[in-house]
Structure 1
Amino acid sequence: MTPPRTDYAWLAGTYWYCAAACMPALRTLPGNRFEPVIDQTVWSIAGYADGYFWGVASALVTPAGSEPDASGKNDMTFFASVTPQGRVHITFVHGDGSTTIGTGSIGGQGDPRFEMQMSSGAGPVLVVHWAYMLRVTPDDPQWHRLPGAGVSVEAMVGDIAAPIGINPQSGSRA
């Protein structure tokens, strides 16, 4: 018997950011080299249905020790699945059609968080990162000034158009 899907409908309309302690990542470079970077990623979850969620995200990768420049953020849409046990698989779609895959889980007693791993890039230049993604609201100081980005949540994801679902029965938008 197939287990019932757990209802993660509460995810719709939430925002998530990378905790400051989890921003260090690695970027590989040509010539078998790598450098430490800071990766601030923000998600805006637009919707949820039947074990799937979707939305927009933006990542700002800055060489460690450098000042972040939000004009270099990388905007994406994403589509994800979450199992009844809280395992998560997210496909981030960049503007050029390339993808980044993130895997992990959602958990936490009363204060949910995502624990995620990802690898992004092509050829000799990749970014590898693991992080706790924490929920953020307009009442939190991080909403107004994200660690590792120096800008607000709205500045990171507020200008990205969310994916729009189509209802296959009626042809209308979900």
Structure 2
Amino acid sequence: MGWRDRAEGDGAQGSADDLSWLVGTYWYVPTEYLPAMQQVNVTEPKITQVNDQTLWYFTEYSNGYLVGQCAASVDGDDFEYQSIVGSVTPEGTVCLSFTPVGGISLHPVRGSVSVANFIVGQGKMVKHQGEWAFLMQMTGGNGVYNLTHWAYMMQTRPGDQSWTNLPGTDGSQSVDEIFADWG
């Protein structure tokens, strides 16, 4: 059974040809998918496991293309903000690009500001634990710092525990408060 066949039985949240239901939705990384691998390329490269909480908020959809906002925090640090532009094919294949807001990133070396490369994430729309999810993989960074992560991105809504107690954070901000700082 293909993506189109699976999606057509889901009514409003699943047409393979019209994903406009994604507009206004928020997505997050559940606890079990927080681990990511980080490399800092210094004299002796250091590769460590970190927690990567990433949030998405989709603001536009048209003809298979998505536009939105991203907030990401590594190991509970401050959220960094990125613009999302990408696509979902009729077969459910996903490709999203993430560009730092303002073209800078504060994370490559703590306490410094440097020009950052954009990130590309690839994956597909799948059913996971009975809900639509984005099964994604990404690697981003530059020659000094990079991060690799795969996760099921699950939808979160006001009233969900994940909305106010976001895994990988201290729980002091709700998802909508995090996005209030975007840009």
State the TM-score bracket (shorter-chain normalisation).
0.7 to 0.9
2:89 to 83, 94, 97: 83
Query: 1:33 offset after TM fit, Å?
Result: 2.0
1:117 to 131, 137, 143: 137
**2:125 corresponds to which residue?**
106
Calculate the TM-score normalised by the size of structure 2: 0.77
Query: 1:120 offset after TM fit, Å?
Result: 1.3
Query: 1:96 offset after TM fit, Å?
Result: 4.5
**2:64 corresponds to which residue?**
51
2:175 to 138, 148, 153: 153
Give the letter for the 1:129 counterpart: H
Task: Please say if 1:41 is aligned against 2:54.
Answer: yes
**1:128 corresponds to which residue?**
148
Task: Please say if 1:137 is aligned against 2:130.
Answer: no
The whole-number CA distance in structure 2 between the counterparts of 1:159 and 1:49 is 26
Could you say what secondary structure the match of 1:147 adopts?
coil
Calculate the TM-score normalised by the size of structure 1: 0.81
Give the letter for the 1:108 counterpart: K
The whole-number CA distance in structure 2 between the counterparts of 1:114 and 1:158 is 23
Q: Is the 8 A contact 1:54 1:80 kept in 2?
A: yes
Q: Is the 8 A contact 1:43 1:157 kept in 2?
A: no
Give the letter for the 1:28 counterpart: Q
The whole-number CA distance in structure 1 between the counterparts of 2:180 and 2:33 is 23
Question: Residue by residue, what CA displacement relative to the aligned partner does 1:75-121 show, whole Å, maximum 9, x if unpaired?
Answer: 11110100001100000010343311100011217510000000111
Where in structure 2 are there 5+ consecutive unaligned residues? 1-15, 104-116
The whole-number CA distance in structure 2 between the counterparts of 1:17 and 1:53 is 16
The whole-number CA distance in structure 2 between the counterparts of 1:124 and 1:96 is 20
The whole-number CA distance in structure 1 between the counterparts of 2:58 and 2:102 is 21
Query: 1:124 offset after TM fit, Å?
Result: 2.8
Could you say what secondary structure the match of 2:131 adopts?
coil
Where in structure 1 are there 5+ consecutive unaligned residues? 63-67, 162-174
Could you say what secondary structure the match of 1:139 adopts?
coil
